[in-house]
Copies of this chain bind each other. A is one copy, B any other.
Amino acid sequence: MAIARPARPVRKRTNQYHHGDLRRALLQEAVRTIQTGGVEALTLRATGQALGVSRTALYRHFADKAALLSAVAEEGFRTLRLELVGAWDRGGRGKKGFDDMGVAYVRFAVAHPAHYRVMFGGVLTDHASHPALAVEGAAAFQVLVDALMSQQQAGLVRGDDPLQLARFIWAIVHGIARLAIDGQLHASSAETEALTRYAIGRVRTGIAPAAARQRPRASASGPGRS
């Protein structure tokens, strides 16, 4: 009965009826659980218990478990966006800033692998029913698009469709990130960062303006105008 379990999260005082800010507490606890033991460790029953609340109290604040996970993902996209903007700004909004953004992206994923998986990774199947999540995701993506357009205007990046360019860059950092956190790279975080920097170097060459390369012919992408 009187087991002295150290309770990190803010629990409801046993005498008070209302929790106060249960929604925030649930979200916090969910993020913590996911970070510690992965999504599969997240159960509504344990979450409620950790907060000193019934296992169904959650339904007053979230439609279901998927809605809670969606909120977790939103939180993740917000944090990621801030880290990307920070790297871009501190790096001088140029070549260095952009490269730093790439490193920051992969670092975020490696630092919060389970959280990153919830953001992407098919845990939430129907994005249509979580519009707020789509908005946060788009906002993070926009940071990349803006940075690319800025570099195009500065003559640092070739004048391709910025959206396609951004998808390409995103795929690279996302690919490295997922391979790393899913254990497919068999690499330490130092090796992962080395790969990231190598990739950025090669991509930098690949997206340089045509004028900076020997053959100015821009039609190397094969047949089919679609």
Contact = CB atoms under 8 A, between A and B. Distances in A.
Interface of A: 38, 99, 117, 120-122, 125, 127, 137, 160, 164, 167-168, 170-176, 178-179, 181-185, 190, 194-195, 197-199, 201-207, 212-215, 220-222, 226
**Interface majority SS (helix, strand, loop, mixed), chain A:** helix
Contacts of A117: 121-122
A135 B203 CA distance: 30
Contacts of A125: 38
Nearest to A219: B201
B176 A198 contact: no
Given A122-B181, A173-B175, A205-B220, 19 more contacts: A121-B121, A167-B176, A167-B185, A167-B195, A168-B195, A168-B198, A168-B199, A168-B202, A170-B179, A171-B175, A171-B179, A172-B172, A174-B178, A178-B178, A205-B205, A206-B207, A212-B214, A213-B213, A214-B214
A93 B165 CA distance: 28
A122 B199 CA distance: 24
Contact of A201 (B38, B198, B204, B221): B221
A171 B176 contact: yes
Q: 8 tightest A-B contacts by CB?
A: A175-B175, A206-B206, A171-B175, A201-B221, A202-B206, A174-B175, A171-B176, A205-B206
Contacts of A221: 197-198, 201
Nearest to A226: B194
Given A122-B121, A125-B38, A199-B168, A176 B178 contact: no
A83 to B, nearest CB: 18
Contacts of A122: 38, 117, 121, 181-182
Contacts of A120: 178-179, 182, 184
Which of A164, A167, A221 gathers most chain B CB within 10 Å? A167
A178 B160 CA distance: 23
